[in-house]
Chains A and B, each alone.
Chain A
Amino acid sequence: MIKDYFKVGIDNLFHRKLRSWLTMVGIFIGIAAVVGLISLGQGMKEAIGNVFLNIGADKLVVQAKSGLQFAGPPGTSAASNLTTHDMDVIKRVNGVEQVGARLIKPVKLEFSNEVKFYFAASMPDDDEGRELVTDVNRYETEAGRLLKRGDKFKAFIGSNVANKGIFRKRVELGNTIKINDAEFEVVGILKKSGNPQQDRVVIIPEDTMRQVLKIDRKKVDVIAVQVQKGVDANKVADDIERAMRRDRDLELGKEDFQISTPQQILETLDTILTMVEIVLIGIAAISLLVGGIGIANTMYTAVVERTKEIGIMKSIGAQNKDILLIFVIESGLLGLAGGAIGIVFGIGLSKLVEYLAFAFLGTSLIKAFFPWYLIVGSLVFSFLIGTISGFFPARQAASLKPVDALRYE
């Protein structure tokens, strides 16, 4: 019987094609927005998760405390107060295998007579430190090499820097770039990582950087920590925090530095993305609400238009619940059809954004991701919006008196 009502509903929708289409637009825009936003949000989370997954849970990053964690490249968000003394303190903490320091500084960058204000980062001069920093950042070269022992005035750069992301001209291996007027030879170009931050680095040896930028020999911006195998990184992080607090004579909760594990950074990013998603979906929900009201309006019109039909159906044995079902199913189908079209458009939309982001921003962090629950959920949800919106018109239809309805012209 229900099957027949679906058929009757589909027939009726096809009978009023234009109105059905117009009604569906409301739902379709809302669902397209929701599907597009969720798929991009989920895809972004997934992509970021993958980036961090490979760093490993056994590494920690210590830096000066800033208001917003991860608002910019590490070390740039607050004036650093870390020194090589802190490195010694950290080294003495149980479970710490290795520490490496980095400097990240604003510089004047010049290539082929073009001047840009930019950031440069340092690479430790000792082998262990270099290895650790390479590991944490997953540096891999596309061409040339990374820095090695004894390098002075050499640099390797991110793929975006090389490929006209900064300068009008392509930077090739062996070219010379100027940092604060000192000349550096480009010895390596990194593989494109998809992480915009990573693709825009300019990296030079630590000693040279201190010399060129006249940085105090003791100051560092970021300290990377390798935790010993089999030791809980979170416990080591706690221990480092306690040791540094004691060393700096600070009270609990008043730290001027912060220690983050890759997981923590990931969680923070996740939270931010989720918040953004919720806000955007909230906006899309308004469209769904308007769509639902559109369906209700169409169904009220349909009830008035088909009053006589309702009377006929009642006279040949339709009970109130039959009429109710017929109308609710019809409005549910309106919602469902709108939802289905919306899903197709939403998928197209997020695929387009993914493509544009890759083509113009060079990031592969924006990835459209379509989990099955998103598709099924959207379909169920749009059907529900339809049925809920159609319920009151349907109830009105069902409660019509057969004699009155039959007399209606």
Chain B
Amino acid sequence: MRQIIKLQDVWKTYKMGNIEVNALQGLELDVKEGEFLAIMGPSGSGKSTAVNMIGCLDVPTKGKITLEQHDISKLSESELAQIRGRKIGFIFQQFNLIPTLTALENVMLPMIFQGVDEEKRKERAAMLLGLVELGDRTNHKPTELSGGQQQRVAIARALANNPDVIIADEPTGNLDSKTGAIVLDFLQKLHKKERKTIVMVTHDASLVKVAERVEFLKDGKIVKSLRR
């Protein structure tokens, strides 16, 4: 399997007042094309920081991150934004939909930044909402949708620009177990049917059963790997 993201000796240091906190301490991680990877760890283990690096939302203090042969620590902010827009889809614990926009407009938004024209945007957004079984909710604002529905809109939005990698940061963290299971089901479908690479961060051991590989993170380092 082709390697899509590679982290080599990645350090991330935050300054909190006068104290320096090392969120990542020499993290080594490979993500292969088409795999379903879960990153597990207790809170404060650095898993969110790690996933931000993988998703090009943040750059390391030290170390190297390669995304399809690009060293992202050398890219400018707008180049990073373009990569995020085209190659990566995010699903957040808080859903992070824009409250003033309808479900359809939220799904269309990533395509605006890629310059897709309106007709195509509408068509694709409607298709994606159909895929997550929200075809009848296109004109609802996020506040008019349940948590599970909002997260499905977020999944549709993550797919808007047909990215290679989907990053899900605690995707079921704000959902009850039943709706969480539905969301997880969609992620699995994406992996199996659409052959998307999925990186999921969680602290919930029950979720990792869907993953092919689990990396355990503690103190900013991988402490255990599990392949299934």
Interface-side segment among A50-58, A313-321, A384-392: A313-321
Given contacts A316-B157, A319-B78, contact A12 B100 (CB under 8 A): yes
* Residues of B bordering A, CB below 8 Å: 52, 55, 57-58, 77-78, 81-82, 84-86, 89-90, 92, 96-98, 100-101, 109-110, 112-115, 118, 157, 160-161
B113 touches A316 (CB 8 A): yes
Taking a contact as CB atoms closer than 8 A, the residue among A11, A309, A318 that contacts B113 in the complex is A318
- Give residues in A with beta carbon < 8 Å to B: 1, 4, 11-12, 15, 308-309, 311-322, 401-403, 406
Contact of B115 among A1, A12, A403 (CB under 8 A): A1
Q: Main SS of the interface on chain A?
A: helix
Known: A315-B55, A403-B58. A308 touches B84 (CB 8 A): no
- 12 A-B contacts (beta carbon < 8 Å): A4-B118, A311-B96, A312-B96, A314-B84, A315-B55, A315-B90, A315-B96, A317-B81, A320-B77, A320-B78, A320-B81, A321-B78
A318 surroundings in chain B (CB, below 8 A): 81, 85, 113
| Bound complex: CA A317 to CA B114 (Å) | 8
**Beta-carbon contact of A316 and B77 below 8 Å:** no
Residues of B within 8 A of A1 (CB): 112, 115
Q: Which B residues are in CB contact (< 8 Å) with A316? A: 84-85, 89-90, 109-110, 113, 157, 160
Residues B101 and A315 in contact, CB atoms below 8 Å apart: no
Contact A402 B58, beta carbon cutoff 8 Å: yes
A314 touches B81 (CB 8 A): yes
* CA gap between A253 and B113 in the complex, in Å: 72
**Chain A residues whose CB sits within 8 angstroms of the CB of B89 once the complex forms:** 316
Contact flag A4-B90 (CB < 8 Å), given A308-B96, A319-B78, A402-B58 = no
A160 CA / B137 CA spacing, docked (Å): 73
Q: Out of B77, B86, B98, B118, name the residue touching A317 (CB < 8 Å).
A: B86
A406 CB contact (under 8 Å) in B57, B101, B113, B114: B57
Chain B CB count within 10 A is highest, among A308, A311, A320, A403, for A403
Contact call B96/A319, Cβ cutoff below 8 A: no
The residue in chain A whose Cβ has the minimal distance to the Cβ of B90 is A315
Chain B residues whose C-beta falls within 8 Å of the C-beta of A4 in the assembled complex: 112, 118
Measured between C-beta atoms, what is the minimum distance from B106 to chain A in Å? 9
Query: Contacts A320-B78, A406-B57 known; A315 to B84 CB distance under 8 Å?
Result: yes
B85 touches A403 (CB 8 A): no
CB distance from A146 to the nearest CB of B (A): 73
Do B57 and A403 have beta carbons less than 8 Å apart?
Answer: yes
Q: How far is the CA of A50 from the CA of B108 in the complex (A)?
A: 59
Q: Which of B96, B97, B112, B161 has the most CB of A within 10 A?
A: B112
